[in-house]
Amino acid sequence: MSSELGVRTDYPIPASRRFRVYAFDPLASTSLDTALVNDAVISLPWEEPWEEPLGKGPSGEYLEVVDYDPSSGLFYEPLDPTAAILLAQDGLPPSESRPQFHQQMVYAVAMKTIRHFERALGRKVLWSRRRGEPNDGFVRKLRIHPHALRERNAYYSPDKKALLFGYFKASQTAAGLPDGWVFTCLSHDIIAHETTHAILDGVHRRFIEPTSLDTLAFHEAFADIVALLQHFTMTEAVEQQLAQVRGRLRSRNLLTGLAHQFGDATGRMGALREAIDIEGTGDGTGDKPPKRYADSEEPHERGSFLVAAIFDAFVTMFERRTADLMRLAQTTALGEELHPDMVKRLAAEAMKAADHLLRICVRALDYVPPIDIRFGEFLRAMITADADLIPDDRLHYRLAIAEAFRRRGIFPKGCLSMAPDSLLWETPDAWDASLAGIYFGDLVPDLDLQTLYSREAIWDQAQKNQLAVWRWLTHTDDMTPEWERMLGIRLGPDAPMTIERSPKTGAPKVEVHSVRIARRAGPDGQDIRQLVVEITQTRRGFFDPEAQARADRGEGDPKARDFTYRGGATLLVDLRASLIRYDAVMKLSEGKIRYAVRKRIDDDRRLQAQRDYLRGGADRDLGFVYFGERDGQEPFAMLHRG
């Protein structure tokens, strides 16, 4: 396109938008050592033509920042990220006193977290539907309220589909200005943590149900893991901290702690949580004995063992990648600073190792059961997800992960050993010869990923896929006992009567949570395309085993229950053979089931374990109340406030 003067006006679209943020939080800007590296820049991809343009708020395709402060009754003027004066300087400079910078920071860090998930999952991030709405209720945007609370809290609201950040006055013992205001929306770690809660809820909406000590702890631990590993995306901060600790990441520093300002402001005189433990057994400092994973019940405390295991594996990976560099560094005189070139090399390797491990952790979300997650199952999911994409583990990363879990007493059930090959999920052929050669069948409509980019279109397609799989499950004569066993459900006439039933037919009900296509690329050109199917079933649970037996036989009130018990499976269907035959169109007539990660609805031992957990104490009763399924509850508000 040209103007009347012949000057071209169809300028090329930039590759990215840049936003200035705090690399850690405002506290790091008060120290001469870290002030320079705390002013960081986040680059986000420019909006695609099919995405909603970025507007005031900021508001875009995934997020909408609404800055209303109910404590003071004020609406703060929204940031316009498209203003020329802001584009010219990568957005507003960091400022604790300017609400518009608060808006800019929460948007940039949340979008950065979303992009990390999408790259690892191989698909678009979708938010979970609101409770009480039909399954096809598409939620386009997650809302972010930077000044929602005047209290020491920040949380994700499943009902509101929003992130709510608080602010408060620091305690007298805090580092910095006594009685100064602390804004949780200015903590890089807290923003990433809360965004991860929302994404995880979109992937697995049953993970907020209290079924064991591990379930609530997993949500907290996983959010901490993402925030922690994202530290290693900020080059200057990584270089500065590595130079300070002389390349040794097993000592505590800014990179190993989470939410330093929040921790200081609440009297901890340090980070809110630390990834470095002592000898793999917890804190172990002072007069307190080391904590043990098996004895830890509080969700954050129990989750800290999973965080420590992942960080231990990361450091081991980093040390293996830099062993030759550190041998060269040892020739330096004791106490002498590392050469800047050496620091840059170490930082590059740390960033690669963190990125690799973060992708493993996120990909593993597709390899876990859809309900009742346990830490040992997450370990198996990590090992299997990595082996699927990268068969040749030359540097023994998977062994490093398994060893880190073993040192903390986190063991999966049903494995011969902690060797990586023993931790892989079994394929259907391996655990049931009668299912050898079974294919998923012509269940899901054709899907052309080359033209389907819109998140709403992807959501609509997923609903069609779910309906197709549900119809096959409930309206087919092919549902054999072998299929039921593989899926972890019961659909036959002999199924326990406590399984929820259709009011029309009286047949056992089954839920298809998601049917999503993922395309993942490995570092050496590997290409994996999978269909991820989540199937669950609900059963009424009773604290009294005799009452359970009577209800299973159909005696008593058909609506009575003490708690909800679920079973089901995650199926991973290999699509690669179909793609070769049908080019870009994914026709699933030969999509073979590669893994079936299941938890059976008729597993009475697991039912008893959940019964024992829920009756274990008043704290668990309180958790059960807050993490139930009634509308209006805010489980993370209670959990984070505690």
- Residue 243: which of 177, 348, 358, 339 has the closest Cα? 339
pLDDT value of position 280: 43
Q: Which residues pair with 511 in a beta bridge?
A: 536
> What are the tens digits of pLDDT across the range 369-401?
999 999 999 999 999 999 999 998 888 999 999
Stretch among 11-20, 62-71, 103-112, 470-479 having the lowest mean pLDDT? 470-479
User: Per the omega criterion (within 30 degrees of 0), is the bond before 412 cis?
Assistant: no
pLDDT value of position 450: 43
> What are the tens digits of pLDDT across the range 304-331?
999 999 999 999 999 999 988 888 777 5
Signed CA dihedral, 481, 482, 483, 484: sign only: positive
pLDDT value of position 626: 43
Confidence at 485, pLDDT banded by 50, 70, 90: confident
Q: Burial-class residue 472 by CB neighbours within 10 Å (0-12, 13-18, 19+).
A: middle
Q: What is the mean pLDDT of residues 4-32?
A: 83
Using CA atoms, how far residue 227 sits from 102, 125, 161, 189, in Å, is 18, 17, 20, 5
**Pair of tokens at residue 547:** 């009452």
- The more confident residue out of 587 and 445 is 445
Confidence at 77, pLDDT banded by 50, 70, 90: very high
Q: Burial-class residue 493 by CB neighbours within 10 Å (0-12, 13-18, 19+).
A: exposed
Q: Please name the amino acid found at residue 215.
A: T
Angle between helices 397-407 and 340-363 in degrees, nearest 10: 80
| Rounded-to-integer distance, Cα 194 and Cα 154, Å | 8
- The more confident residue out of 202 and 477 is 202
- Alpha-carbon Rg of the chain, whole angstroms? 25
Read off the DSSP letter of residue 184: G
Read off the DSSP letter of residue 439: B
Q: Is 342:328 a contact under the CB 8 Å cutoff?
A: yes
- Residue 538: which of 374, 375, 371 has the closest Cα? 371
> What are the tens digits of pLDDT across the range 617-633?
544 544 444 445 444 46
> Where in 234-387 does DSSP place strands (E)?
257-258, 273-274
CB count within 10 Å of CB 261 equals: 28
Q: What is the mean pLDDT of residues 332-338?
A: 64
CB count within 10 Å of CB 352 equals: 15
Give the phi and the psi of residue 445 in degrees, each rounded to 5. -55, 155
- The more confident residue out of 461 and 161 is 161
| Rounded-to-integer distance, Cα 547 and Cα 560, Å | 10
Length of the chain: 642
Residues contacting 172, CB < 8 A, separation 6+: 178, 179
pLDDT value of position 625: 42
Using CA atoms, how far residue 300 sits from 208, 263, 304, in Å, is 14, 14, 6
pLDDT value of position 129: 85
pLDDT exceeding 90 applies to what percent of the chain? 57
Q: Which residues pair with 144 in a beta bridge?
A: 65, 163
pLDDT value of position 75: 95
pLDDT value of position 7: 55
Stretch among 200-214, 247-261, 288-302, 627-641 having the lowest mean pLDDT? 627-641
For the cut 50, the answer to whether the pLDDT of residue 298 exceeds it is: yes
Signed CA dihedral, 610, 612, 614, 620: sign only: negative
Using CA atoms, how far residue 361 sits from 156, 200, 307, 386, in Å, is 21, 12, 11, 9
pLDDT value of position 436: 44
Stretch among 30-34, 39-43, 142-146, 217-221 having the lowest mean pLDDT? 30-34
Q: What is the mean pLDDT of residues 458-462?
A: 87
| Rounded-to-integer distance, Cα 199 and Cα 436, Å | 35
Stretch among 33-37, 137-141, 289-293, 470-474 having the lowest mean pLDDT? 289-293
Instruction: For the chain, give percent helix, strand, coil, nearest 5.
Output: 40, 15, 40
pLDDT value of position 380: 97
* Triad 483, 489, 495: Cα angle to 5°: 105
- The more confident residue out of 565 and 460 is 565
| Rounded-to-integer distance, Cα 234 and Cα 240, Å | 10
Stretch among 168-182, 240-254, 403-417, 508-522 having the lowest mean pLDDT? 168-182
Give the phi and the psi of residue 464 in degrees, each rounded to 5. -65, -40
Q: What is the mean pLDDT of residues 339-353?
A: 93
pLDDT value of position 641: 67
> What are the tens digits of pLDDT across the range 245-292?
988 899 888 999 988 888 888 777 778 888 887 544 444 444 445 568
Q: Please name the amino acid found at residue 13.
A: I
- Residue 317: which of 391, 380, 395 has the closest Cα? 395
Q: What is the mean pLDDT of residues 106-114?
A: 98
Q: Which residues pair with 533 in a beta bridge?
A: 515, 571
HEC string for 527-586: EEEEEEEEEEEEEEECCCHHHHHHHHCCCCCCCCCCEEEEEEEEEEEECHHHHHHHCCEE
> Mapping DSSP to helix (H, G, I), strand (E, B) and coil, where does residue 349 land?
helix
For each of the domains in the chain, give its residue range(s) and CATH number, in order of start: 16-203 (3.10.170), 212-425 (1.10.390), 428-602 (no CATH), 604-642 (no CATH)
Residues contacting 607, CB < 8 A, separation 6+: 539, 541, 548, 565
Angle between helices 545-552 and 604-614 in degrees, nearest 10: 130
> What are the tens digits of pLDDT across the range 425-448?
988 765 554 444 445 545 665 555
Q: Own/partner pairs for 113-116, CB < 8 Å, 24+ apart?
A: 113/191, 113/192, 113/195, 113/196, 113/199, 113/226, 113/230, 114/62, 114/63, 114/195, 114/199, 115/44, 115/45, 116/226, 116/230, 116/358, 116/362
pLDDT value of position 294: 82
Q: Burial-class residue 429 by CB neighbours within 10 Å (0-12, 13-18, 19+).
A: middle
> Where in 39-129 does DSSP place strands (E)?
39-45, 63-65, 68-69, 74-75
Instruction: Write b or e for each residue in 406-424: b if 16 or more Cβ atoms lie within 10 A of its Cβ, otherwise e.
Output: ebbebebeeeeebebeebb
CA 427 to chain centre: 25
| Rounded-to-integer distance, Cα 459 and Cα 456, Å | 5
Q: Please name the amino acid found at residue 584.
A: A
CB count within 10 Å of CB 358 equals: 23
Signed CA dihedral, 23, 29, 31, 32: sign only: positive
pLDDT exceeding 70 applies to what percent of the chain? 83
> What are the tens digits of pLDDT across the range 529-563?
888 999 999 999 999 999 999 999 999 999 999 99
Residues contacting 299, CB < 8 A, separation 6+: 216, 217, 219, 220, 639
